[in-house]
């Protein structure tokens, strides 16, 4: 049977000792976000995930969702768990108190996204989509739309979705055909007609209403992405009842089918059909892509947290199995003479896989929480310059968080299967599910190849490289600050070398890419991976410095914790960061070998 324990000690180490998250309480609106409150929220959330969500993960995978004549039923236990989730206010954790939210920092929401994803990724899809709908309406909706929809979404009585993809187009949203015609005799309403596919949580039985955010074209829409508008299309039309909004008649939206999938089987992935469904414009006409990207960018960070969560639970189960499974003797002599064989954790290859999982999850946790904190600063800091700086850093690191963490989450899940050997291939041990569940995170919300193109094609050149400088400058300053510390040199010097190569690669891609876009495209995935490893190194250097600082004082009962941090940091710098050398060489090789073969020759 699989296990899960929220890694609260490591979470709090990152929040309080690395990021000093309590400083967020100095920002307007976050005055109550003390360290004690944040810890209390995390402890309660961890308990909910461990005791209510995780026990449904494997059974939900086995049962899946049921589809019957347009109706979707979630697996046994999901409704009760969702009710507990909403009663605890978890949907509105970081939402605006004006509409019933708790108003906590986005950083706290990042933490919960990780824990929920680790405990039950399928379950997390439902409130996760609601969060995206909330964000889009909160930022781009009218005052009337906010007052109508946001309290219901935050309460959890209504949920949300985002409807982008159509059967003939995925990433290229300029090709969408769903249309929106002005409704006769309806004040401000439109009639939406078309079909959308791969709509997560498009239909289910957890809430009384589902609020769909749908991309469609107005009759006078220009071609391409400049002609896309965003509409809010509820499953049931809202009606006012004694000052409150309730559900009225069924709208012209229906679920045509649900997909049979490789993973996240307890999350309903739907084909949604719109037949003269009433919808209302969100934001300005033909500006829907901008509004939808509010959801997309938040979703990409959320998917990055899914990658981290899947890596964490896969790592935990691999460790538990490696400590228990007896096979052969250690290469350097028997370690457990009282047993017929040593546990496989003594073997170097097994340990390397476990250390990779450990170094990834702890480093990625620090990196993604740092981005979460920057998101809070970008939204709440009173200084516009500080807000802009943080916003640009978040924009730069979003494709890196999404792509690297989902790639590695999938890798660690596969390593967990390998550690389990034949048992890993068997359903009852749980880890094969993590491979299946983790795989989608590399695909949806923009494939990881698209994230790499976004990094080199948009973020690298935007504002004449200013986004890059938001990361390069503080990293360079930190390297300069720490390089004279003899105790840190084993970490600083490898990072400095990798950073120098990243800068060289940046210049080369920018130069060659101007002459031939294929040069930038061919280098993009390697560049993103290289960038991610350097960013992870930045986090690991900070954690190593803090661990050494604490060990130099009186670490007390946490001595082993900090010593383990240093040992894991050494593994990252010695065994994982050197990947930047290989990535650099492949970037230098250029695009010729990638692009020269004729299509007919494949």
Separation of CA 409 from chain center: 11
For 439, the enclosing helix (H) or strand (E) is helix 431-439
Q: What is the pLDDT of residues 226-265, one digit of tens each?
A: 899 999 999 999 998 887 899 999 999 999 999 999 999 9
CATH of 157-286, one of 2.10.240.10, 3.30.70.890, 2.40.110.20, 3.40.50.150: 2.40.110.20
Q: Write down the CATH superfamily of domain 8-140.
A: Acyl-CoA dehydrogenase/oxidase, N-terminal domain (1.10.540.10)
Encoded tokens for 147: 């007052």
Q: What is the mean pLDDT of residues 288-305?
A: 86
Q: Are 296 and 140 in contact (CB under 8 A)?
A: no
Q: In angstroms, rounded to a whole number, what is the distance separating the alpha carbons of residues 520 and 512?
A: 7
pLDDT at 185: 78
Q: Which residues contact 312 (CB under 8 A, 6 or more apart)?
A: 7, 114, 118, 361
Mean pLDDT within 286-298:
83
**DSSP structure class, residue 175:** G
At 461-489, the pLDDT tens digits run: 999 899 999 999 999 999 999 999 999 99
- Which DSSP symbol is given to 91? T
End-to-end C-alpha distance for the chain, whole angstroms = 44
Domains 8-140 and 157-286 share a fold: no
Is the pLDDT at 173 greater than 80? The verdict is no
pLDDT > 90: percent of the chain: 92
Please pick, among 445, 549, 557, 563, the residue that the annotation labels catalytic. Answer: 445
Is residue 303 within 8 Å of 445, Cβ to Cβ?
Answer: yes
Cα–Cα distance, 13 to 565 (Å, whole number): 11
402, 377 Cβ separation under 8 angstroms: no
Q: β-pairing, 269-282 with 253-258?
A: antiparallel
Has 445 been annotated as catalytic? yes
As a whole number, the mean pLDDT across the chain is 96
- Which segment of 365-374, 413-422, 510-519 scores lowest on mean pLDDT? 510-519
SS3 content of the chain, % helix, strand, coil (to 5): 65, 15, 25
Are 178 and 217 contacting, i.e. CB atoms less than 8 angstroms apart?
A: yes
* Cα–Cα separations (whole angstroms), residue 562 to 336, 370, 511, 551: 27, 20, 43, 7
In terms of pLDDT, which residue wins out, 299 or 527? 527
Tokens of 89: 């206010």
DSSP structure class, residue 221:
P
The stretches of 553-598 forming alpha helices (DSSP H) are: 559-571, 579-588, 592-595
Say if CB 227 and CB 241 are below 8 A apart.
no
pLDDT of residue 268: 98
Q: Where are the domains of the chain?
A: 8-140, 157-286, 461-593
Q: How far apart are CA 245 and CA 373, in angstroms?
A: 35
pLDDT of residue 182: 94
Pairwise CA distance, residues 207 & 163, whole Å: 18
- What Å distances lie between residue 45 and 41, 80, 280, 435, CA to CA? 6, 16, 35, 25
- 318-347 as b/e: b if 16+ CB within 10 A: bbebbeebeeebbeeeeeeeeeeebbbbbb
Q: Which residues contact 474 (CB under 8 A, 6 or more apart)?
A: none
Query: Any idea of the CA torsion for 72, 76, 80, 85, to the nearest 10 degrees?
Result: -70
Report residue 274 as tokens.
């719109």
Instruction: Check residue 277 and give its pLDDT.
Output: 97
Query: pLDDT for 99-125, tens place per residue?
Result: 999 999 999 999 999 999 999 999 999
Question: Above pLDDT 70, what percent of the chain?
Answer: 100
Measured CA to CA, the distance from residue 296 to residue 445 in angstroms comes to: 6
Residue 69, Cβ density class (10 Å: 0-12 exposed, 13-18 middle, ≥19 buried)? exposed
Q: pLDDT tens digit string along 203-234?
A: 999 999 999 999 999 999 988 888 999 999 99
- Taking the C-alpha atoms of residue 460 and residue 502, their distance in angstroms, rounded to an integer, is 12
Using one digit for the tens of pLDDT, what is the confidence trace for 546-569? 999 999 998 899 999 999 999 999
């Amino acid at each position: 049977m699989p296990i899960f324990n929220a890694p609260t000690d490591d979470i709090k180490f990152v929040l309080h000792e690395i990021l000093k998250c309590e400083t967020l309480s100095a920002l307007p609106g976050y005055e109550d976000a003390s360290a004690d409150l944040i810890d209390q929220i995390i402890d309660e959330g961890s308990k909910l995930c461990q005791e209510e969500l995780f026990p449904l993960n494997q059974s939900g995978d086995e049962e899946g969702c049921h589809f019957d004549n347009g109706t979707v039923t979630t697996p046994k236990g999901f409704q009760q768990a969702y009710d507990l989730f909403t009663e605890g206010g978890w949907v509105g954790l970081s939402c605006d108190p004006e509409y019933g939210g708790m108003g906590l920092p986005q950083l706290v929401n990042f933490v919960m996204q990780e824990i929920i994803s680790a405990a039950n990724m399928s379950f997390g899809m439902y409130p996760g989509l609601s969060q995206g709908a909330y964000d889009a309406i909160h930022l781009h909706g009218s005052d009337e739309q906010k007052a109508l929809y946001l309290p219901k979404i935050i309460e959890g009585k209504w949920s949300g979705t985002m409807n982008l993809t159509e059967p003939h187009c995925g990433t290229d949203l300029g090709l969408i055909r769903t249309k929106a015609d002005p409704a006769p005799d309806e004040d401000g309403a439109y009639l939406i007609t078309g079909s959308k596919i791969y709509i997560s949580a498009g239909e289910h039985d957890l809430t009384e209403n589902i609020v769909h955010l749908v991309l469609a074209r107005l009759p006078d829409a220009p071609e391409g992405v400049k002609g896309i508008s965003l509409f809010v299309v509820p499953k049931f039309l809202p009606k006012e009842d004694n000052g409150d909004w309730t559900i009225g008649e069924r709208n012209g939206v229906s679920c045509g089918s649900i997909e049979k999938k490789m993973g996240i089987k307890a999350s309903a992935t739907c084909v949604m059909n719109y037949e003269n469904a009433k919808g209302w414009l969100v934001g300005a006409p033909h500006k829907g892509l901008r509004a939808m990207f509010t959801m997309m960018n938040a979703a990409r960070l959320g998917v990055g947290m899914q990658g981290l969560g899947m890596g964490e639970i896969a790592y935990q189960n691999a460790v538990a199995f490696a400590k228990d499974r007896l096979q052969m003797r250690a290469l350097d002599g028997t370690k457990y003479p009282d047993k017929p064989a040593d546990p496989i954790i003594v073997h170097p290859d097994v340990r390397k896989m476990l250390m990779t999982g450990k170094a990834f999850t702890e480093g990625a946790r620090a990196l993604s929480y740092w981005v979460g904190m920057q998101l809070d600063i970008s939204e709440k800091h009173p200084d516009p310059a500080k807000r802009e700086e943080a916003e640009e850093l978040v924009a730069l690191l979003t494709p890196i968080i999404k792509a690297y963490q989902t790639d590695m989450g999938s890798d660690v899940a596969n390593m967990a299967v390998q550690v389990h050997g034949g048992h890993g291939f068997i359903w009852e041990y749980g880890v094969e599910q993590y491979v299946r569940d983790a795989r989608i995170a590399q695909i949806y919300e923009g494939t990881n190849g698209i994230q790499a193109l976004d990094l080199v094609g948009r973020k690298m050149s935007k504002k004449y490289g200013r986004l890059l400088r938001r990361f390069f400058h503080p990293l360079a300053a930190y390297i300069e600050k720490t390089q004279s510390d003899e105790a840190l040199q084993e970490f600083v010097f490898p990072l400095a070398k990798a950073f120098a190569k990243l800068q060289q690669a940046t210049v080369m891609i920018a130069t060659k890419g101007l002459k031939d876009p294929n040069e930038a495209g061919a280098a993009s995935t390697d560049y993103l991976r290289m960038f991610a490893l350097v960013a992870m190194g930045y986090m690991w250097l900070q954690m190593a410095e803090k661990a050494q600082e604490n060990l130099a004082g009186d670490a007390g009962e946490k001595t082993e914790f900090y010593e383990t941090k240093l040992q894991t940091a050494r593994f990252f710098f010695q065994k994982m960061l050197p990947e930047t050398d290989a990535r650099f060489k492949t970037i230098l090789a250029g695009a010729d070998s990638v692009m020269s073969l004729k299509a007919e020759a494949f």
